Amino acid sequence: MEYEALGTKFEELLASRGVTRRGFLQLCGAVAAAAGASQLTVPQVAHALESSVIGATEGNLYPVIWIEGASCTGCTEAFAQIDEPDPATVVLEMISCNYNETLSFAAGHSVEEAKAETIKHCAGNYILVYEGALLEGWEGMALRVADTAGIDAFAEAAESAFGVVALGSCAVNGGWMGAYGTPAGAIGCQAYMAKRGISTPVVNIPGCPANPE
C-alpha cells in the first residue's frame, strides 16, 4: 500500500471540480494581489500552485471518499466540532477529502465526478468513510444518490477501497432506522458487504454520533 495521494493531470483535476483554467488564473491573480505582489507574478503563482498542493500527483495526503447514507448528519456535525486538530486541518493537510456531500466545496455533477475520478484512478489506494445506514427497502430505491441506488453507490466505492470506515451506529448496524417494523430495510456496512461478497476490510466506529476524536 502506498501512503500517497494519486491524481489526474492538472487540467482534468480542475475540470472534475467544475473549475475552468480561466477561473484558476483569476484565483492566482487574487492570491498575488492579497500578497501585495504585481499582476506580473501571476504566472509564477499559477506554476507554484499547479506544481505543489493543487496539482500534485503524489504526496502525503491520502485520498478519502466520505459518503453519507441514511442519516441525520450527526457524525459529520460531531466531526465539525473537533478542536485539535480542527476539521480544516484534517481535510486540507492530513487527508485529501475528495468527496463529502456536506463538506465539499463542489456540488452536483462536479462533486460526483470527483468521486468517480477517485474510484477510477485511486483504486485500492483510498479510504471510504460511510456515515448512515444502507437501505435495502423497495429494491434499494429507498435511498438514491445522484440518480443511483444508495446501496449500489456504496458497493461501487467499497469494492475498490483499501478499507471502509463505518462511522456511527447507523453505519455499523443500521442504527435506530433498523428497528423492528421500519420498512426501509436499514442495514450496516459490514452486513451488507457480506451479502454482496465484498471483502474489503471494515473498521466499525459505533456511537450516535461517533466520537469525533
User: Which domains, and CATH codes, for the chain?
Assistant: 1-58 (no CATH), 61-205 (3.40.50.700)
Asked whether 133 and 69 are in contact (CB, 8 A), the reply is yes
Model pLDDT for residues 45-78, shown as the tens digit of each residue: 666 666 554 544 445 678 999 999 999 999 999 9
Model pLDDT for residues 138-171, shown as the tens digit of each residue: 988 999 988 899 999 999 999 999 999 999 999 9
Round to whole Å and give the CA distance between 124 and 51. Answer: 25
pLDDT confidence of residue 212 = 86
Model pLDDT for residues 195-211, shown as the tens digit of each residue: 999 999 999 999 999 98
Question: Is pLDDT above 70 for 3?
Answer: no
Model pLDDT for residues 11-24, shown as the tens digit of each residue: 666 665 566 777 76
What is the three-class DSSP state of 212? coil
Amino acid at 3: Y
Asked whether 44 and 31 are in contact (CB, 8 A), the reply is no
